Amino acid sequence: MDDAPRSGPAPDEVVPAAARSVAWLSFDRVAAIAVQLVAGIAVVRHLGPERFGLLSWSNAIVWLLVPVVGLGLDDYVRREWATRPAPARHHVLVRVMRVRTGVAVVAVLGLVGVTWWTAPAGAGIGTLVLGAGLLVHPLFTAAIPFEVDLRARTVATARLAVTLAVGAWQVGGVVVGAGLLWFYLGALGALAGHPLAAWLTYRRAYGVAPAPERGPRDGRRPLLLGSVPYAVAAIAGGVTLRIDQLMLESLRGVAEVGVYAAAVRISEVPYFLPIIVAASLIGATARGRGQERAARIARTFDLLTLLGVAVGAATAMAAPLLVRVAFGTAYADAAPVLRLHALALVPFSWTIARWQLLVLEERARVGAVAAVAAAVLNVALNLVLIPPLGPTGAAIATLVATTADALLVAVFVPELRAPAGEMLRSLVRLPMTVRTLAVRSRTPAGNPSRGAPPPTPGA
Residue 386: CB atoms within 10 A of its CB come to: 23
13 alpha carbon, distance to own chain's centre:
28
Phi, psi of 152 (to 5 degrees): -65, -25
- Tell me what pLDDT residue 385 has: 95
- Tell me what pLDDT residue 20 has: 66
Residue 210: CB atoms within 10 A of its CB come to: 10
| DSSP characters over 337-364 | HHHHHHHTHHHHHHHHHHHHHHHHTT-H
CB-neighbour burial class of residue 316 (10 A; exposed 0-12, middle 13-18, buried 19+): middle
CB-neighbour burial class of residue 275 (10 A; exposed 0-12, middle 13-18, buried 19+): middle
Residues 6+ apart with CB under 8 A from 73: 96, 99, 100, 141, 227, 230, 231
pLDDT < 50: residue spans in the chain: 1-14, 210-219, 445, 448-459
- Tell me what pLDDT residue 279 has: 63
433, 305 Cβ separation under 8 angstroms: yes
Q: Measure the CA–CA gap between 347 and 360, rounded to whole angstroms.
A: 20
Q: Measure the CA–CA gap between 139 and 193, rounded to whole angstroms.
A: 10
Tell me the whole-structure pTM to 2 decimals.
0.74
Identify the three-state secondary structure at position 96.
Answer: helix
223, 98 Cβ separation under 8 angstroms: no
- Tell me what pLDDT residue 6 has: 45
Cα separation values, 90 from 140, 144, 292, 418, 427, Å: 14, 11, 30, 34, 40
Q: Measure the CA–CA gap between 341 and 319, rounded to whole angstroms.
A: 10
- Tell me what pLDDT residue 221 has: 54
- Tell me what pLDDT residue 216 has: 44
